[in-house]
Amino acid sequence: MRTSTYRHFIPFVTITSAALLLTACGSGTGGPDAAGVAAEKAEVPTTDVVSAVRKDDAAAKLLPAGTTRLTVAVSVGGTPPGTTYLDDGKTLTGQDVDFTKAVARVLGIELKVEQASFEAILPALDSGKYDFGASNFGVTDERRKTIDFVTYVNDGQGFATRKDSKLAKVTDLRQLCGLNVATSAGTTFEATLEQNEHVCADAGEKAYKVQTYAESSAVWSSLQQGRSDVVMSTINGLRYAVAHQQGLKFLNEYHRLDVGFAFKKGTDLAPAFQAAVNKLLSDGTYDRILRKWGTAGSAIEKSRISPPELKN
């Protein structure tokens, strides 16, 4: 995927994949619902926090020789702070987009942007179809078996529900027994719920039902229309959705996770990306990106390569 053919940055404008799959992703489910949920259309932040970023020679030297262009896979989650579209319907924006573009500028490389479903990105890295993925991928011990990560924020798992729900906080998945839980396909949320389905049977209670959806609008419509009782998604995505949809409430954070750019196992790109993120941390760009998207609570002190999963 690395080539020296191109000399100018390719902006996050044209999506090059043939199948334009608009799917739910780990970068946040929420926001305006094309299926008819009563939700306000939130204004997408448009502050330019990237164009002033300059190449850092020290970080760029860590790239494999001849690397001038990389292919990045992204998944459109629907609304900020996850990857979404500006009003023109074609320009991608979001927290992950800003971090990806900023890192590319630090490294002095171009980006070829391809869109894919969230659950398809990680399996495709090993084949070389993409050089890396940028869709709010949570770092888990299971994923680290086959994927390398370079961290850039801390997000994680949480819950939201309707305001008329009796749920106030979910600290134990047994509180979900007998309920319908909506989430996005191929995510850490789906994995967490499926791996712990036994807790209800162990307690002699009716199992909760996991309802997975490919599109974020379907997740929220299932909740708003009563087909599901609670949503499990990213902390930042849930907070945003609750702030911009009527009749919802954020329950709580459940499990914090580091979030990173995803690469095939054994990648030689990780040191350069780590250095680039740390450069953004030191020059103030990092804080400007978080302020733009209202995610200051996701700040990290330094980037790490494939750290162990956070346990909390």
Distance CA 157, CA 237 (A): 10
pLDDT, greater one: 23 or 255: 255
Alpha carbons 42 and 80: distance in angstroms, whole number: 9
Residue 155 sits at the vertex; the CA angle it makes with 154 and 161, to the nearest 5 degrees, is 165
- The pLDDT value recorded for residue 217 is 74
Residues 6+ apart with CB under 8 A from 202: none
Q: Which residues contact 106 (CB under 8 A, 6 or more apart)?
A: 53, 54, 55, 56, 59, 60, 275, 276, 279, 280
Reported as a single tens digit per residue, the pLDDT across 287-309 is 999 999 989 999 999 999 999 99
Give mean pLDDT, residues 231-251: 91
- Which tens digits make up the pLDDT trace of 25-50? 343 433 333 333 333 455 788 999 99
- Tell me the pLDDT tens digit for each residue of 107-163: 999 999 999 998 899 999 999 999 999 999 999 999 999 999 999 999 989 999 999
- What per-residue confidence (pLDDT) applies to 241? 86
pTM value > 0.95:
no
pLDDT digits (tens, 9 = 90+) for 154-199: 998 999 999 999 999 999 999 999 999 999 888 889 999 999 999 9
12 pLDDT band, cuts 50/70/90, is low
pLDDT (tens digit, 9 = 90+) per residue, 51-108?
999 999 999 999 999 999 999 999 987 668 989 899 898 999 999 999 999 999 999 9
